[in-house]
Amino acid sequence: MNFMEEYKSKLITPEKAAGLVKSGDFVGYGHFNLFPAEFDKALGKRAGEEGLINVTIDCASSVRYPEVVKNDPEMRTFTYYSNHFNGLERKLGDVNRISYVPTQYHDLQKIRGEVVQPFLKKNIMCILTCPMDSHGNFNFGIAASETYATLKNEDMIIVEVNEKSPYCIGGAMESVNIKDVDYIIESDENVFMMPQAGEPSETEKAIAGFIMPMIPDRACLQLGIGGVPNTIGALIAKSDLKDLGVNTEMFCDAMVDMYEAGKITNKYKTRDVGRSTFTFCFGNKKTHEFLHKNPQVAAYDCNYTNNPKYIALEDNVISINNIIEVDLFSQVCSESNGIRQISGTGGSLDFHIGAWESKGGKGILAFNSTYKDKEGRVRSRINPCLPSGAVVTVPRVMVHYLVTEYGAVNMKGRSIWGMAEGVISIAHPDFRDDLIKAAQAMKIWSPTNRIPF
């Protein structure tokens, strides 16, 4: 058979595909924008079906409200897991309808590919893909992630073809061939896009102002999710910086602005010279159009982009990520609010370690020094200790730079006294006296400590 004949022979309806799921099956959905909308809708209709029980669904940052969750509020049929929470999944977590799977992002490639845990092997994997090309390949689009490694070990592979998905040139492990696909379904659902970023706040501008002088010409950039990384990107686009490279987990909207301003050339990278490397994208329409079949960028699996030993091969890696809070021991939480899961470890730790190991590199963790609680009271994001249940995302021995709107401090090589002093120096002035008193009570403040306010 030629490719189109094989395609037609494997084409089935979403309902027929969902009907292949049996009791006890472990079903994988594609991560991020590889979420299979039509398959999920059809499978969700089977919630409560007599004889169908104990079906486990695995995903990450679901871009749609899962029908398998919506139609099964008491979990009589489906259990839902995520490797990285987003806003939608956070709300599901609040009602105990989803469980987070702690993950250091680059590890997923090994965990999925080598089946370190036998129970992680899925019976069925369904992912959204681009239409089949002339060679019989289905491109994963904007989420190479750990997709290829996961597919390698599954019993059944179903692809949900959607022509609205941007086609992202690889790298490697960015597509699956029809010979390895068991069934095909089709979809015309709109692909999720981020809204256009708003104007940065004055606080974000102040934080970015401390970070910009830390970025040299020929730096290799990683920008995380959030206002500060996007603000940095906008400032870089207007700066005098030259010949920047990109090796990032997420390709963000600000990178398109940097390309258009001529700041990104990738001329001096060690790997993939001339190309920006990434593993997934949450972007707006302009970013999707930029990535589509663009040879200036390359989609790779998450181990290639996120493994610290590979990141460190580049010189001057500048990694910028947001965090939630930090304590006086320099322990960083980027993923939970107490026991409430907010996001996940993701690639924050991967890149923070890799940047430190890079020649001339800097791991930068940025955050607003304060926030307002539900009652409108101003609270500090720097506290004596992390609150009960808060997850340590970056251990104190690995923290490099911490940056707020009040300054930047290098935490490497400091004593516990020095860590407390450094963290307090970038706290909001209204909270510094109380933090000093707490440090004294905790015996992590030397009588000779002096902070120039």
Q: Which residues are catalytic?
A: 249
Phi, psi at residue 375, to the nearest 5°? -90, 5
Residue-by-residue DSSP string for 47-105: TT-TT---EEEEESS-SS--HHHHT-TT-SSEEEEESS--HHHHHHHHTT--EE---BT
282-to-57, 251, 254, 446 alpha-carbon distances in Å: 22, 7, 11, 46
Residue 332 phi, psi (nearest 5): -110, 130
Q: Tokens 């939630």 correspond to what residue?
A: 324
**Number of C-beta neighbours around residue 416 at 10 A:** 17
Q: Which of 168, 210, 202 is nearest to 320 (CA)?
A: 210
d(CA 6, CA 89): 37
CA distance 154 to 123: 6
DSSP 179: G
Residue closest to 49 by CA, chosen among 16, 19, 77: 77
Cβ contact 117:314 at 8 Å: no
